[in-house]
Amino acid sequence: MSNDNSQRPHVEVGIGALTFEQVIDVARHNATVSLSEESLKEIAKSADRVRDLANHEKPVYGVSTGFGALASKHVPLDQRKELQRSLIRSHAAGSGPEVEREVVRALMLLRLSTMATGRTGVRPEVAEAYAAMLSAGVTPVVHEFGSLGCSGDLAPLAHCALAIIGEGKVRDASGELRDTADAMAEAGLKPVELAEKEGLALINGTDGMLGMLVMAITDLDRLVRLADVSAAMSIEGLVGTDRVFAADLHELRPHPGQIASAQNFRTVLADSDIINHHKGELSSYVQDAYSLRCAPQVAGAVRDTVDHARTVAQRELASAIDNPAVTKDGRVESNGNFHGAPVAYVLDFLAIAVADAASISERRTDRFLDVARNRGLNAFLANDPGVDSGHMIAQYTQAALVSELKRLAVPASVDSIPSSAMQEDHVSMGWSAARKLRKAIDGLTRVLAIEILTAARGIDLRGPQKPAPATGALIAKLRETVEGPGSDRFLSPEIEETVRLVANGELLDAVEAKVGRLA
């Protein structure tokens, strides 16, 4: 990571909702962060209100009481700073592998965004400490397990709060594992001593699951367009018909995603010499198999699911989630806004859509390898079938991935294990839903890469007929680093290189440079 701030994007956090682009800039592009003057004023106002209540005789949850099942215990004034510190230490109880840096940065930014609304009661210096740590590139170590997705992503957020008070472990800007106190001192950061309610305010939020949802939607916006391209390549390589993608046919069933996907098929397959050349020869084929013919219906449903998830994410980005919350009229009220159900449901819904997108992709790949269905190509697209196995085992790899994606599609949000002595007796498991969705998106990336690798080989074998300009541009980009048809080679590196080109967007960019941005 570069420490030259002039080369990094910058995000100012205000009282309004963050955009997807701002979240991605901070999470993935190391943006520096600051707070708007308006937000600092709102933060100070609610902090003053909490300080007033701290000295009141009437107990206020999180200000002068314990937490969860211990909410009935009144805490004396001289023990309240210790109360907040103890809360963070005890709740930083995560276990398992480290969570990715981008997830932790997104989580911290989104917690800061809630602080910026002035609804949490923290002091400005607490919020500024989060902004400074993000800007310095110091990243708290957060572990895979610990969140039930209710009362917020408690353990992950607590590990971040632990770093703010100068304890625990962090990764510095170069990625080295360090004691927090040493890394902060080197970066010029000072630990914060938490006051009433502040520890609680730092851990009550859906920020981890929301950050992962925003990144998943961002990744899927690219992958759904490429899924249309990969399907179009399979249709072309299998000399299918493009007539089923006519606009008027899809207007008969006006799902927005389906209509957009069909438009992409028409764009990508336009002027395909392969399809045009074989139209008469294969006129006996009345209609293609479902994995070809119904591709826009499935891809369109995935798109519509992503758009539904986007709506939920945008609402959540506009939310101020804390318990208790400081209202605009100065009340400090307990609430249940930390429950992750709205986010958890769409995370699970996306995992289902991702699994099905991969499933139909694998079916198209399998058709290329079967001489009974591939319309004149060699078995397994092998150079010399029998001596060579071609892409036989690439499809095994795809099948293994799809099987795993089906397991990952089992919803996490239908589970609930009571906690905190039955005070927290229903939880969302939204963090778990987000973690498995990240694995699912990686799996879809790999499945699409194998379809593209296979379809490109099939299209090359259709020569001398030429592919459409769009698919030809993708194949040309692929052939810069991955060889075309020939005798069997060590296949794994070619798969991994194609995965890289899918993940970084280079293959989609090659298509869109030729035909414009797809729908």
Residues labelled as active-site residues: 61
Tokens of 473: 């541009």
CB within 8 A of 66, min separation 6: which ones? 72, 73, 75, 83
Can you spell out the DSSP letters for 146-189? ---SSSSSHHHHHHHHHHHTT-SEEE-TT--EEEHHHHHHHHT-
Amino acid at 104: V
- Phi then psi dihedrals of residue 105, to 5 deg: -65, -40
Q: By the 8 A CB rule, do 461 and 377 touch? A: yes
Q: Which of 437, 389, 439 lies closest to 413 in space, CA to CA?
A: 437
Q: By the 8 A CB rule, do 107 and 154 touch? A: no
CB within 8 A of 220, min separation 6: which ones? 302, 306, 350, 354, 441
Q: How far apart are CA 189 and CA 193, in angstroms?
A: 13
Tracing tokens 């039930």 back to the chain, one arrives at: 148
Q: By the 8 A CB rule, do 343 and 206 touch? A: yes
Q: Kindly give the pairing relationship between strand 10-13 and strand 32-35.
A: parallel
Q: How far apart are CA 432 and CA 144, in angstroms?
A: 9
Count of CA atoms in the C-beta half-sphere (13 A) of 225: 22
Q: Where are the alpha helices (DSSP H) in 238-381?
A: 247-251, 256-269, 273-278, 290-293, 295-317, 341-369
SS (H, E, C) 291-316: HHHCHHHHHHHHHHHHHHHHHHHHHH
Tokens of 41: 């004023």
Q: By the 8 A CB rule, do 470 and 229 touch? A: yes
Amino acid at 285: Y
Q: Where are the alpha helices (DSSP H) in 383-429?
A: 392-408
Can you spell out the DSSP letters for 10-56? EEEE-SSPPPHHHHHHHHHH--EEEE-HHHHHHHHHHHHHHHHHHT-
- Burial of 4 from C-beta contacts in 10 A (0-12 / 13-18 / 19+): exposed
Adjacent-strand bridge partners of 333: 325
Q: How far apart are CA 312 and CA 315, in angstroms?
A: 5
